[in-house]
A and B are shown apart, each in its own frame.
Chain A
């Protein structure tokens, strides 16, 4: 295995984790990671221009995710489509599982929040991966966190309510 492949292998656990958190289902998540790795190898001469292997792979992963979502949406019926894309802010939902609460967020907010909170990326890095402005990263992050505050019945929220 050459150097680039070793660097790529090291990122697989991170890629899997992010993909799993994005789509929920383990097999679907690994499909996206596999797609990402294959694409990365085909385009391996590009990676030097993109900075670190990590960001380059996450960019590819994100595009694979969007592509997978798009082709999946063609397959699912309208009801499921509505469910998958409906903005969560308007709903009064309460979740005990943070993953459930995350899943109810609009995708654009979930993508950013997971990169920052789960993968520890800076806002600049997240902007690079998602191909958006850093200001957009900040505003999506803010909105996502405020939504979570309302929907997720986490430890601190519960304590505060008890008071």
Chain B
């Protein structure tokens, strides 16, 4: 905007609403000094603004009603709070063959029916059928079904927070689906973890791959099959998978709350980082 640019109606409006830069503002003020009619009108508009603000200011200072805060504080419907607090983790399984990630592509035999899970990566609630569970959260249900306690994987350190948990049916088998949301970036990226019991033929080797822009990591962990998927880069996926592998270890039901150090059960986190 140059100094010779004539002052128009839009300038006056912007002036009223404090939307002008200092240079243009002083030009408009010069104009108003020479045009009393416009100056009166502008003064009226500014008085309106001030009155409107003053009239409704108190609303913003009122305490927020509890019912509104409750909307934000509501826990993800199916997320099991008590498992998150599980203190003791007893590693029951020695995971052999988990020495590193293979990078795979679609043509390789993944050793499990990946395709069955793909439709459930992007969908929201409509495919999730939180039946069967009764009062049990999905992870508890799965724990019961394999008679071992499963600890809900915590991805806080990787910057993801659990958003919801669903128990759903994928091609006739019950699958726990946990949805995590990125808490660091502004994009709200999502990771989805599927946990199921493997079928006899399913013996996947730990693997990372990318399909349709979606990063996939999957592995078998004792009596459970894990598939982690998300539109994230490889290092994020790898770190999250390693963390899940580390923290989702199984603990025996009703074991004392003291960590048991058992050489057999020790799984080195480092074993996940290779490959």
Contact = CB atoms under 8 A, between A and B. Distances in A.
Contacts of B243: none
B125 to A, nearest CB: 9
Interface in B3-31: 9-10, 13, 16-19
A118 interface: yes
B188 A45 contact: yes
Interface in B26-40: 40
Contact of B64 (A13, A20, A44, A48): A13
B183 interface: yes
B61 interface: yes
Interface string B49-69: 101110111011110110111
The 6 closest A-B pairs by CB, nearest first: A13-B60, A98-B51, A17-B59, A117-B49, A37-B71, A156-B47
A107 B270 CA distance: 64
Interface of B: 9-10, 13, 16-19, 40-41, 43-45, 47-49, 51-53, 55-57, 59-62, 64-65, 67-69, 71-73, 161, 181, 183-184, 186-188, 190
A75 interface: no
A12 interface: yes
Interface in A108-163: 113-114, 116-118, 120, 122-123, 138, 141-142, 145, 148-149, 152, 154-157, 160
A34 B59 CA distance: 16
B37 to A, nearest CB: 11
Given A102-B52, A145-B45, A122 B19 contact: yes
5 contacts: A44-B181, A149-B44, A149-B48, A156-B44, A160-B40
A34 to B, nearest CB: 6
Contacts of B17: 116-117, 120, 122
Given A12-B68, A154-B47, A3 B183 contact: yes
Contacts of A156: 40, 43-44, 47
A117 B68 contact: no
A21 B190 CA distance: 37
A157 to B, nearest CB: 6
Nearest to B163: A2
Contacts of A145: 16, 44-45, 48
A155 B47 contact: yes
Contact of A30 (B48, B68, B73, B190): B68
A156 B41 CA distance: 10
Contact of B59 (A9, A13, A142, A148): A13
A4 B188 contact: yes
A41 B52 contact: no
A9 B69 contact: yes
A21 B9 contact: no
A78 interface: no
For B13, B43, B49, B59, which residue has the most chain A Cβ atoms within 10 angstroms?
B59
A5 interface: yes
